[in-house]
Structure 1
């Protein structure tokens, strides 16, 4: 049986790669994504790739990592995070999960392959969330699809442009890896909200800011992320901006110039090799 409901692919095709697009899937029956299997995965992953954070953060500064004396696999095996948010990152390191992710991407390849270059830099993340978990406003410099496996969530997506995401924050991410964004109360009514129940999935465009709020039951979600040639070129071009400003040249802004910045990206890679960037 297909993992993706093929009748939902045309909608994704209409929205990809610039707008959030919904899908239906059959991953809820996948044994690898149950609590017992995820506990086994947590034990197999490097400890740094199994992280617990507070579940009721109201802003970025409060979304702190929680220390845990016991291995977080024990909490997962017991049925979830209790009063926290657990992330298993880079699960594609484990062969069974790598195969699952590749199968998922293979089923949507007719859609995403027609609108952009082949996917690369594939990563997988599993989020195990306590009831009511709030993931603060942030962005990810990649394309992603969030598959809801158990429980439900509301995800509010925003355009990757000011006032939600400005050039300074984009550049800072490529220096520091910090992706949390300032939240303003008037943003609340301006996001495109999606209720994701078991069997739902949502594609998010590259760098689209968003926040997530889990429902009243423990939640399991799988996020599959990737890059393409254009997104890698954007990242390289943004990394070059500080040097361009120092020599009096205009910086690259992906909102003002949405086409792939091939020449700037090539110059950035050369600068990185010789230590200028």
Structure 2
């Protein structure tokens, strides 16, 4: 049996990779994505890759990690934490989850390959969210599909361009991993909002800012992310900007150029090898 509804892949191909787009899937009954299996996965992963955060944070500053002695796996096994957001990071380290991600991407390959080439650097994240969980405004420098497994969520996506995302914020991500963004009240009406129920999935373009809000029931979501040759080149080119400014040359801005910065990326990699970048 396929994991993804084929007609919805064809429909998403009309939007990929530049616009958010929906899919339908058949993962809601997948045993690996139930509470018992996710609790086992949480225990199998390195402890630092199982995060528990404040579930009702109003902004990035409040979205802090909750530190206590209890392992998040205990709350997951009991049906999810009543008042926390839990993330299992890099579940592709576990062979059974790696196989699941590879099956998903194999079914998506006819859409992904012609537009952006093979999926590279595949990663998986499972989110177990208490009712009402709010994930603050942020961005991820990767292609992403969020599969809703249990409960529902509102997912609001924004263009990866000013005023929502500027060059300084992109550079900060590639320099230090900082991906949280300042929220402004006027953004509320601008987002492309999607209500996701079990069986729904949403493709999120590379570096598209977004916020997420869970509904009134506990939520489980699976996020599958990947890179392309172009997105790798963009990351390398952004890393070169600081050096270019020092020597009086123009910086690279992805929002001002749709082409891949192959030459800048090659110069960046050369600079990294000799310690200039």
Residue 234 of structure 1 corresponds to which residue in structure 2? 234
Residue 42 of structure 2 corresponds to which residue in structure 1? 42
In the TM superposition, 1:184-195 aligns within 5 A as: 184-195=184-195
Q: Measure, in 2, the Cα distance between the counterparts of 1:27 and 1:223.
A: 12
Tell me how far 1:58 sits from its aligned partner.
0.7
Which is further off, 239-248 or 111-120? 111-120
> Which whole-Å deviations, capped at 9, do the CAs of 1:219-268 have from their partners, x for residues lacking one?
00000000000000000000000000000000000011120000000000
Q: Measure, in 1, the Cα distance between the counterparts of 2:185 and 2:121.
A: 35
Instruction: Indicate the SS of the match to 1:189.
Output: coil
Q: Measure, in 1, the Cα distance between the counterparts of 2:118 and 2:68.
A: 39
Q: Measure, in 1, the Cα distance between the counterparts of 2:194 and 2:9.
A: 17
Residue 65 of structure 1 corresponds to which residue in structure 2? 65
Q: Measure, in 2, the Cα distance between the counterparts of 1:111 and 1:227.
A: 14
Residue 143 of structure 1 corresponds to which residue in structure 2? 143
Tell me how far 1:68 sits from its aligned partner.
2.3
Q: Measure, in 2, the Cα distance between the counterparts of 1:201 and 1:70.
A: 32
**What is the CA RMSD across the aligned residues, in angstroms?**
0.5
Matched, 1:173 2:157: no
Structure 2: state its 5+ residue gaps: none
In the TM superposition, 1:122-141 aligns within 5 A as: 122-141=122-141
Shift >4 Å, 4+ stretches? none
Structure 1: state its 5+ residue gaps: none
Q: Measure, in 1, the Cα distance between the counterparts of 2:110 and 2:10.
A: 10
Which is further off, 156-165 or 253-262? 253-262
Residue 102 of structure 1 corresponds to which residue in structure 2? 102
Which is further off, 244-253 or 63-72? 63-72
Q: Measure, in 1, the Cα distance between the counterparts of 2:27 and 2:196.
A: 14
Q: Measure, in 2, the Cα distance between the counterparts of 1:245 and 1:24.
A: 45
TM-score under structure 2 length normalisation: 0.99
Tell me how far 1:11 sits from its aligned partner.
1.4
Q: Measure, in 2, the Cα distance between the counterparts of 1:246 and 1:7.
A: 50
Residue 32 of structure 2 corresponds to which residue in structure 1? 32
* Number of residue-to-residue matches in the alignment: 277
> Which whole-Å deviations, capped at 9, do the CAs of 1:147-184 have from their partners, x for residues lacking one?
00000000000000000000000001111101000000
Instruction: Indicate the SS of the match to 2:14.
Output: helix
Instruction: Indicate the SS of the match to 1:28.
Output: coil
Q: Measure, in 2, the Cα distance between the counterparts of 1:89 and 1:244.
A: 34
TM-score under structure 1 length normalisation: 0.99
Q: Measure, in 2, the Cα distance between the counterparts of 1:242 and 1:19.
A: 29
Q: Measure, in 2, the Cα distance between the counterparts of 1:168 and 1:90.
A: 27
